[in-house]
A = this chain, B = another copy of it.
């Protein structure tokens, strides 16, 4: 006999799925004779409402909320989408599901937390894009709602490794430091940085890595640091100003900026044989045009986040507890920009 399911049980008994669910979850709602009949059939059939039973036992919804960040451009968006895929799979392996919501602002995200806790009684949240003065983490901590963030807490005064909440992050500064080191090794000394306006934790961290590498080599030049909002055209304009200031290579805080920078170098006929533009996030676009880029171990980060969060939720003793603050190292994907002719795209 095929394994009994809620659907097959309902069919064979001539009752609705809701009735069977009620017998398991809210038996008072079901007429006693129906209840006995269903309970008997459940026992006979070998039907195992395992996750449902676990949910009842633990009083947990087995659902985690995550805000789907707005699409800024399709280039950088791919990194968050890979994260979401890996997070869904890791959560599911541990019997958790993700509930998606959208929010226009952090304020709105907090309102959504309240709404979701009211309506669905979610067990916890996964946050992305932590930043200085993040009101979302403050609210969740204050209300004692379990959560973990992809992104460390950014504070000028507190050590992120003594944070009250679990987080997983990638050491972006180590990535830009390594990328800058590669360009130094290739003989560049006037190496610019194109990043975002100061204040975003991750952006500042990436800028710091570039600065550290240049300072260690004794070639740091303040005027080769440009801050713009993300995007391909902004990256091109920033690179044009850096080229005018004498830069022969650039490290960028994103692949969108880097794609613009590569275009600017090419339009100035200054593209050397070795890669002189390095992006961040190793997106499909970087692979398609042969752009070197710093790669985040995004699938590993997602699995770690689910691990530290579900550990918190399961309330296990501290023995065997995973480290709840994890800073993962990035890697550098090195490529050569594709010439007009040739099939270098096929990497």
What is the number of residues of chain A that contact chain B, defined by CB distance less than 8 Å? 70
Could you list 10 examples of A-B contacts with CB < 8 Å? Answer: A6-B114, A74-B82, A81-B81, A85-B102, A88-B102, A97-B116, A259-B288, A263-B344, A284-B284, A289-B289
Contact assessment for A288 and B75 in the assembled complex, using a CB-CB cutoff below 8 Å: yes
A82 to B72, CA, bound (A): 11
- The residues of B that contact A157 with a CB separation of less than 8 Å are none
A259 to B21, CA, bound (A): 51
In the complex, whether A341 has a CB less than 8 A from a CB of chain B is yes
A98 to B6, CA, bound (A): 21
Q: Assess A97 versus B101: contact at CB under 8 Å? Given A74-B78, A78-B74.
A: yes
State which of B68, B97, B236, B287 has its C-beta within 8 Å of the C-beta of A346.
Answer: B236
Most chain B Cβ neighbours within 10 Å, of A73, A78, A88: A78
Q: Smallest Cβ distance from A59 to chain B, in angstroms?
A: 6
Contact assessment for A267 and B342 in the assembled complex, using a CB-CB cutoff below 8 Å: yes
Q: 18 extra interchain contacts, Cβ-Cβ under 8 A, other than A51-B119, A100-B100, A284-B284?
A: A5-B118, A51-B118, A71-B81, A71-B82, A74-B284, A75-B284, A75-B288, A84-B100, A88-B102, A92-B102, A97-B100, A233-B346, A262-B345, A263-B344, A266-B341, A284-B285, A285-B285, A289-B289
> How many monomers of this chain does the complex have?
2
In the complex, whether A31 has a CB less than 8 A from a CB of chain B is no
- The residues of B that contact A82 with a CB separation of less than 8 Å are 71, 74
164-187 of chain A: CB within 8 A of chain B: none
Contact assessment for A55 and B236 in the assembled complex, using a CB-CB cutoff below 8 Å: no
- The residues of B that contact A100 with a CB separation of less than 8 Å are 84, 88, 97-100
- The residues of B that contact A138 with a CB separation of less than 8 Å are none
A59 to B26, CA, bound (A): 12
Contact with B along A53-81 (1 / 0, CB 8 A): 00100010011000010110111011001
A21 to B263, CA, bound (A): 56
**Closest 7 A/B residue pairs (Cβ):** A74-B284, A340-B340, A263-B345, A51-B119, A81-B81, A6-B118, A98-B100
